Structure 1
Amino acid sequence: MTTATRADRQTPALHVADSHDLIRVHGARVNNLKDVSVEIPKRRLTVFTGVSGSGKSSLVFDTIAAESQRLINETYSAFVQGFMPRLDRPEVDVLDGLTTAIVVGQERLGANPRSTVGTVTDANAMLRILFSRLGRPQAGPPIAYSFNVPTRRASGSMVTEKGKGERTVVRGAVYHGGMCPRCEGMGSISDIDLTQLYDDSMSLNEGALTIPGYSMDGWYGRIYRGCGYFDPDKPIRKFTKKELHDLLYKEPTKIKVDGVNLTYAGLIPQIQKSYLSKDIDSLQPHIRAFVERIATFTTCPDCDGTRLNDAARSSKIKGISIADACAMEIRDLAGWVRGLDEPSAAPLLGALGETLDSFVDIGLGYLSLERPSGTLSGGEAQRVKMIRHLGSALTDVTYVFDEPTIGLHPHDIGRLRELLLQLRDKGNTVLVVEHKPEAIAIADHVVDLGPAAGAAGGEVVFEGTLDGLRASGTITGRHLDDRAALKPSVRKPSGALEVRGAGTHNLQNVDVDIPLGVLVVVTGVAGSGKSSLIHGSVSGRDGVVTVDQGAIRGSRRSNPATYTGLLDPIRKAFAKANGVKPALFSANSEGACPACNGAGVIYTELGFMETVSTICEECEGKRFQASVLEYKLGGGENGKDISEVLAMPVTEAEAFFGAGEARTPAAHAVLERLADVGLGYLNLGQPLTTLSGGERQRLKLATHMAEKGGVYVLDEPTTGLHLADVEHLLGLLDRLVDSGKSVIVIEHHQAVMAHADWIIDLGPGAGHDGGRVVFEGTPADLVTARSTLTGEHLAAYVGG
């Protein structure tokens, strides 16, 4: 560890007087941390740096933030704790000086199809109150403007009450929401391909239904056989119109089968309820594939996609309905709210205006409140979460941020830095995990972890000031001032991919030729239309492979080895070396531990309480039967069992399968690609659910690198990369292009821009101020012209 003296480690502004001004961590051993001890100044901004996998998140999120949350949960009664997740104490000797920790991470906001930017903040709630007070004609109370509350007809008795003003009330359970009855507040309706539901040449008893889970041997079979609406032995094509209607569309109806009360519903309402009303990404893979096969979604013709009924849409304030307000760009909506002069609603207008201004201040003014929350990027989601805290009256809180600069153009990073400093200046402790030099530069205190990743990391290699880090000699310190130079020459394109009249989202009829056979970087401020152009007009074409940061589809058993196909050659190598079947070396097949079914943990359902997971005592979390672990690969003292192989990081496995008795060329080739994309520190058996967005993208890239030819689209591949790894990524991009691939990168990092053969810059601003191509050409031409925000920042970066 590079140790700074106490004087060196503190800026003059810190004035750390005693232990009450510190968060003290002693002996942290979470994940790869090696008895880490560190003292973090309170009410200051501390940035945690280090290569990917060095232990930053283990220290900040899994130790400090996790223990704060656990201690807070323990203050509640046992009854209340029963509704909370069960949190174990992190493995650490001493952890004191903690304050309430609020984690503002990159996890995407819930992709519930009913969730929007407006519903996940207070903005929609305040708009509904505003329209219920000022809207004319009034639709009713605030819920009358909510697309998540259904319309119910009045029932019960009407009673006229006398007194201070006469009013008529309806007694009984009555409410009147704003949900569009046609699409049930979804904004879209589904058209179902009936041919994908059944084979009409067969009867139900012959297995006509092709819907997952609708077997005649199970629960549905009992209902369909006993309902009496049709003959289960008659081919469906011979059904009468009424029989077919009852099979497909009959509304839920109470029936009795063998003396048991059951509910029958036609296939369509049943599928609508079970599958189509849920977020598609939350479904199991085979169910998701079924839904994608049967359903086509179109905008609801009744509400035109607004999700609201006629009454809610017809109520207006100065000619604007709540649907119109939610469809505006937030910066325009903020201006409209400021223009409303209504003294009776002044406090509400002030609070709503402040919330909307926060969106603009944080660089999200181009969003609309109707934008589905599941479509936000990880960086956008994190900044939306920040809005909840900017106006908070709480102080002496510990805010924890995970790479808040992700998805931000260099022009926008300045505003983000100001917001982080505002949180600090209110008396809060701000902990930031970051790689960008511009974000590290505002730190009062820096903690650098390393020296490398995985087993070679987990140590504090520097604590102190920014200047101290620069002079420390650590990997971060050595690369802090790295600047990529413009290439002396650029490649010549082999052709062009034409885009004509692109109008997705904010694009304004864009025509552009994207060169092929070269490295193309598409850039511009957040919200300028980069993703709309590439994902809307390039992704999906023949030969185009899109590698993004979206969630990887798979179960909680999935890991890098299963996702990349690496496990297949590994299993075959074990089988060949030991003369047994490959299936023995699968934790999802014959080799699975019988106690935990190969999961490595036992899940215990506790009724209304949180499900508890505990390490399987029989296999000790190794997932395999004890007899399987007796088989080794590699021979002699270097022999490894299958669980030991899955515990290896990629770099160790690459050496293991590259030589000696364990040499397996097919496995080694996959491992080389994983190392090439900067994932050498990942364990082969690490659950995919624990990977960051950048790690997921690089894992996907590794799986596609073996394909021949084609066009690759990468979406911010520098996400989560340390300064030292960016050069490695540039080398990888060069190798892809030199191997005959065309590479299109959506990116904000100036080093990638400088390395491009061709730049397409969108802007000039965000939202309706963007959507145009403002520059096409080489990086050198962009620097010389300085005609755009990107050009100005790139010129400053390369010293032009």
Structure 2
Amino acid sequence: MPATNSDLDNADSHDVIQVRGARENNLAGVSVDIPKRRLTVFTGVSGSGKSSLVFDTIAAESQRLINETYTAFVQNFMPSLARPDVDSLRNLSAAIIVDQERIGANARSTVGTATDAHTMLRILFSRLGTPRVGPPSAFSFNRAEGMCPACEGLGKASEIDLDEFVDRSLSLNEGAVKVPGYGVGTWYWQLMAQSGLFDPELALKDYPDEVWEQFLYQPATKVKVGTSNLTFEGLVTKVKRQLLAKDRESLQNHVRVFADRAMKLTRCPACEGARLNEAALSARIDGVGIADCSRMQISDLAEFVRGIQSAAVGPMLEGLRGTLESMIDIGLGYLSLDRESSTLSGGEAQRVKLVRHLGSSLTDVTYVFDEPTVGLHPHDIQRMNDLLLQLRAKGNTVLVVEHKPETIGIADHVVDLGPGAGQAGGRLCYAGDLEGLKKSGTLTGRYLDHRVRLRDQVRRPVGWLPIEGATLHNLRDVSVEIPLGVLTVVTGVAGSGKSSLIHGSLAGREGVILAGQEPIRGSRRSNPATYTGLLDPIRAEFAKANKVKPRLFSANSVGACPGCKGLGMVYTDLAMMAEVASVCEDCNGERFTAEVLAYQLRGKNISEVLRMSAVEAQAFFAKGPARAILDRLVAVGLGYLGLGQPLTTLSGGERQRLKLAIHMGKNGTTYILDEPTTGLHLADVDQLLTLLDRLVDDGNTVIVIEHHQAVMAHADWLIDLGPGAGHDGGRIVFTGIPADLVESSASLTADHLRRYIGVQPALV
């Protein structure tokens, strides 16, 4: 039964997590008691302070206190964690964060390695595989004894375009090397030019064959440069090691562009992508090899493993079966163990992490989830809810940041923050049970039972965008026409092929703009003004008004305060202690030099302008290119954001809408939005629908990949894929207007949309 307010009033103080005076980010001194060993859902509009309370305060302090139990020597090798800005936190237990951050940072991390399923599979083949190969490590593509020697366990070979690496007509001194970071005067250039191995004045085309081979492919070799003994590697050898060992998205943009041009990855011809050497690939269990198992859809692999009977590996078999069944239960049965972790969506990554905890023997810990329903069809949300309840039933405290009413509905306790976002939020609006929330009058309470109706009149297409014979991933020769000039929603259960169809067939076509789920890589220096390009017209106006150069008004350039290098804060690393941030004494947090701050535009200096919210800046910039960008920020619901607010402080929903804002200036185009309701409160979804209507009414085509029933109901046209996930999906099960789906379709989407809008199904 849900915990009531009176339950909490009478609860022993040790049965609640006591938060007093939390002020992280926009929290305005929040004090609240959170019941332990219960499921608590945190609600509120995007930017209201949910993540600041749950992740940046409660979970952060729990992790910091655990780290302090280690010796000073061990702490020196751990990340430094600052104490959250809170008066007091009592009765914390160990926190396990299950968030949407991507798993792994390189191509060696797969679903199998992330869940330990591949480890158990290796043990299985080392014991039962014939011919017998050796210990479990002989089946590991991350160990020398198991990896394919040709691709070193990556499963991929790289085709090198040497002309992208070097200009052979030039010498080293003339800048022959074109690789980013290897220009004349750089550290890597000095190592090549001063190693004594190559004539820096000689054009590369004139190198003797053996010298050319050494220049490109020399293995690591000790050389003397000046008085130092250093290690030299051939250019291609070094660059391949540097770039291929890293996740592509972790590379800086200009380096990623170079890598895409210079190195094309193809399937390794030696192992055909299996990553393993011949010995490991030769072992079989019932005629099936370990590479076959890794390539299988997990639901098929589970069936194969259920058929293996052996007392010699009984406990391990039971563990492997349990892990695979958990992945099926959580809606990931369509994945395979060899799927690279970096290719998983945020929601998939979070569910993969959850698998590791379901079989854990730990109890009385705090599990913290960040929107666990992201990427889930309504059909899959119930299974996620069941898993959250399983964790609670084991005696754990479960804290969930969530917007979906289906998950809010299973909460024992609800904490609602708001009433608005940014500076208008950060306050406790309600804490109690679900029924109390519905009667509370808060925005969340009012919207819990809110429903979007089907359109009375759908827009008519002005043309059609054909997709023919799509076969990417699990798509089964799909052909479909997407209407132009209307709002189309592409839906279906997770893994049904939605993203494969739209991204694989439409992304990259002329006039198509993709606003996907990829996170914005933001540093302390990045903010909405720099990301949207707003800072350029602002600097131009300041420069024109004061007859100086625009670059003076950039905190990343010559106008930056030298004391803090334009950050406004000075960050001091105290080794074993947490990093300390203090306001820069030179500029008092203003980020610019006194000279720059003396220049004004309509009575405001550049620092004062960057402290404005988008709405405030709208009034300040009444016209021109700055006003156009500000109008788009306000249109996507980000009017409360500070122009100079670091991107690192933005929530997931805020970042998604920020990306949309930068594309809205172009008309007559096709927009593809991938789950734009991610991170949005129920009330924010209405605002999103208004925005989508505006894009269509301005002459655009809008295609939305989405599970949210409100967006489906609001669509002019629906394309439903399925009927299931993985090889049970990949087909079009419905295409047409939403009213026809509701009336006649037997798909899972139709069933849930009927329940959402409250109509009885016809005979289908």
User: TM over 0.5: same fold?
Assistant: yes
Deviation per CA, 1:759-785: give whole Å up to 9, x if none.
110000001100100111110000001
Structure 1 residues 631 and 260: alpha-carbon distance in aligned structure 2, compared to 1, 3 A threshold: closer
Structure 1 residues 16 and 146: alpha-carbon distance in aligned structure 2, compared to 1, 3 A threshold: farther
Whichever residue aligns with residue 313 of structure 2, its letter is A
Q: Secondary structure at the match of 1:93?
A: strand
C-alpha distance in structure 1 between counterparts of 2:63 and 2:193, whole Å: 52
Residue 123 of structure 1 is matched in structure 2 by 117
Q: Is the 8 A contact 2:72 2:576 kept in 1?
A: no
Does 1:207 find its partner at 2:175?
yes
| Superposed counterparts of 1:166-185, under 5 Å | 177-185=145-153
Q: Which moved more, 1:328-337 or 1:240-249?
A: 240-249
C-alpha distance in structure 2 between counterparts of 1:753 and 1:785, whole Å: 16
Match of 2:689 among 724, 730, 733: 730
Residue 651 of structure 1 is matched in structure 2 by 615
Q: CA deviation at 1:218?
A: 4.2
Match of 2:157 among 149, 165, 189: 189
Q: CA deviation at 1:258?
A: 5.1
C-alpha distance in structure 2 between counterparts of 1:39 and 1:226, whole Å: 65
Residue 470 of structure 1 is matched in structure 2 by 438
Residue 762 of structure 2 is matched in structure 1 by none
Does 1:355 find its partner at 2:323?
yes
Residue 585 of structure 1 is matched in structure 2 by 553
Deviation per CA, 1:435-485: give whole Å up to 9, x if none.
111111111111111111111111111122212111211111111111111
Q: CA deviation at 1:614?
A: 5.4
Residue 668 of structure 2 is matched in structure 1 by 709
Q: Is the 8 A contact 1:550 1:696 kept in 2?
A: no
Q: Is the 8 A contact 2:723 2:747 kept in 1?
A: yes
Q: Secondary structure at the match of 1:368?
A: coil
Q: Is the 8 A contact 1:550 1:693 kept in 2?
A: no
**TM-score, normalization by structure 1:** 0.91
Structure 1 residues 554 and 86: alpha-carbon distance in aligned structure 2, compared to 1, 3 A threshold: closer
Whichever residue aligns with residue 378 of structure 1, its letter is G
Q: Is the 8 A contact 2:733 2:747 kept in 1?
A: yes
Structure 1 residues 291 and 611: alpha-carbon distance in aligned structure 2, compared to 1, 3 A threshold: farther
Q: CA deviation at 1:748?
A: 0.2
Q: CA deviation at 1:693?
A: 4.0
C-alpha distance in structure 2 between counterparts of 1:691 and 1:237, whole Å: 51
Deviation per CA, 1:23-80: give whole Å up to 9, x if none.
1112222211112111111111111111111111111111111111111112222112
Q: Is the 8 A contact 1:53 1:681 kept in 2?
A: no
Q: Is the 8 A contact 2:62 2:95 kept in 1?
A: yes
| Superposed counterparts of 1:546-565, under 5 Å | 546-553=514-521, 555-565=523-533
C-alpha distance in structure 2 between counterparts of 1:352 and 1:615, whole Å: 53
Residue 407 of structure 1 is matched in structure 2 by 375
C-alpha distance in structure 2 between counterparts of 1:322 and 1:12, whole Å: 56
Residue 103 of structure 1 is matched in structure 2 by 97
C-alpha distance in structure 2 between counterparts of 1:622 and 1:684, whole Å: 14
Q: CA deviation at 1:577?
A: 3.6
Structure 1 residues 230 and 18: alpha-carbon distance in aligned structure 2, compared to 1, 3 A threshold: closer
**TM-score, normalization by structure 2:** 0.95
Q: CA deviation at 1:613?
A: 5.8
Identity level (%): 64
Whichever residue aligns with residue 729 of structure 1, its letter is L
Q: Secondary structure at the match of 2:594?
A: coil
Q: How many residues align?
A: 759
C-alpha distance in structure 2 between counterparts of 1:604 and 1:272, whole Å: 35
Q: CA deviation at 1:653?
A: 2.6
| Superposed counterparts of 1:85-484, under 5 Å | 85-150=79-144, 177-227=145-195, 229-257=197-225, 260-484=228-452
Deviation per CA, 1:484-523: give whole Å up to 9, x if none.
1110111111111111111111111111111111111000
List runs of 5+ in structure 2 lacking aligned partners: 760-764
Q: Is the 8 A contact 1:285 1:553 kept in 2?
A: no
Structure 1 residues 621 and 80: alpha-carbon distance in aligned structure 2, compared to 1, 3 A threshold: farther
Q: Secondary structure at the match of 1:211?
A: coil
Residue 518 of structure 1 is matched in structure 2 by 486
Structure 1 residues 742 and 235: alpha-carbon distance in aligned structure 2, compared to 1, 3 A threshold: same
Residue 766 of structure 1 is matched in structure 2 by 725
Residue 153 of structure 1 is matched in structure 2 by none
C-alpha distance in structure 1 between counterparts of 2:594 and 2:420, whole Å: 34
Q: Secondary structure at the match of 1:729?
A: helix
Q: Is the 8 A contact 1:378 1:693 kept in 2?
A: no
Q: Secondary structure at the match of 1:712?
A: strand
Whichever residue aligns with residue 773 of structure 1, its letter is I
C-alpha distance in structure 2 between counterparts of 1:549 and 1:734, whole Å: 21
C-alpha distance in structure 2 between counterparts of 1:783 and 1:595, whole Å: 63
Q: CA deviation at 1:608?
A: 9.2
Q: CA deviation at 1:111?
A: 3.5
Residue 634 of structure 2 is matched in structure 1 by 675
C-alpha distance in structure 1 between counterparts of 2:426 and 2:195, whole Å: 63
Does 1:530 find its partner at 2:498?
yes
Whichever residue aligns with residue 125 of structure 1, its letter is T
Q: Is the 8 A contact 2:485 2:699 kept in 1?
A: yes
Q: Is the 8 A contact 1:181 1:309 kept in 2?
A: yes
Q: Is the 8 A contact 2:193 2:200 kept in 1?
A: yes
Match of 1:779 among 738, 745, 762: 738
Q: Is the 8 A contact 1:105 1:382 kept in 2?
A: yes
Structure 1 residues 78 and 742: alpha-carbon distance in aligned structure 2, compared to 1, 3 A threshold: same
Q: Secondary structure at the match of 1:290?
A: helix
Q: Secondary structure at the match of 2:134?
A: coil
Q: Secondary structure at the match of 1:487?
A: coil
Match of 1:62 among 47, 56, 61: 56
Residue 544 of structure 2 is matched in structure 1 by 576
Q: Secondary structure at the match of 2:414?
A: strand
Whichever residue aligns with residue 44 of structure 1, its letter is R
Q: Which moved more, 1:265-274 or 1:364-373?
A: 265-274
C-alpha distance in structure 1 between counterparts of 2:65 and 2:4, whole Å: 29
Whichever residue aligns with residue 699 of structure 2, its letter is G
Deviation per CA, 1:526-574: give whole Å up to 9, x if none.
0000011111111111111111010235654222111110011111223
Q: Is the 8 A contact 2:44 2:418 kept in 1?
A: yes
Q: Secondary structure at the match of 1:759?
A: strand
Whichever residue aligns with residue 725 of structure 1, its letter is D
Q: CA deviation at 1:745?
A: 0.4
Structure 1 residues 115 and 787: alpha-carbon distance in aligned structure 2, compared to 1, 3 A threshold: same
Q: CA deviation at 1:403?
A: 1.0
Q: Secondary structure at the match of 1:535?
A: helix
C-alpha distance in structure 2 between counterparts of 1:312 and 1:196, whole Å: 36
Structure 1 residues 252 and 33: alpha-carbon distance in aligned structure 2, compared to 1, 3 A threshold: closer
Deviation per CA, 1:364-414: give whole Å up to 9, x if none.
111111111111111111111111111112111111111111110000111
Whichever residue aligns with residue 138 of structure 1, its letter is R
Structure 1 residues 613 and 356: alpha-carbon distance in aligned structure 2, compared to 1, 3 A threshold: farther
Residue 753 of structure 1 is matched in structure 2 by 712
Q: Secondary structure at the match of 1:317?
A: coil
Structure 1 residues 317 and 602: alpha-carbon distance in aligned structure 2, compared to 1, 3 A threshold: farther
Q: Is the 8 A contact 1:753 1:779 kept in 2?
A: yes
Q: CA deviation at 1:126?
A: 1.1
Q: Is the 8 A contact 1:147 1:180 kept in 2?
A: yes
Q: Is the 8 A contact 1:754 1:779 kept in 2?
A: yes
| Superposed counterparts of 1:629-640, under 5 Å | 629-635=597-603, 639=604
Q: Secondary structure at the match of 1:320?
A: coil
Residue 38 of structure 1 is matched in structure 2 by 32
Q: CA deviation at 1:356?
A: 1.0
Q: CA deviation at 1:699?
A: 1.4
C-alpha distance in structure 2 between counterparts of 1:220 and 1:718, whole Å: 46
| Superposed counterparts of 1:783-794, under 5 Å | 783-794=742-753
C-alpha distance in structure 1 between counterparts of 2:205 and 2:576, whole Å: 46
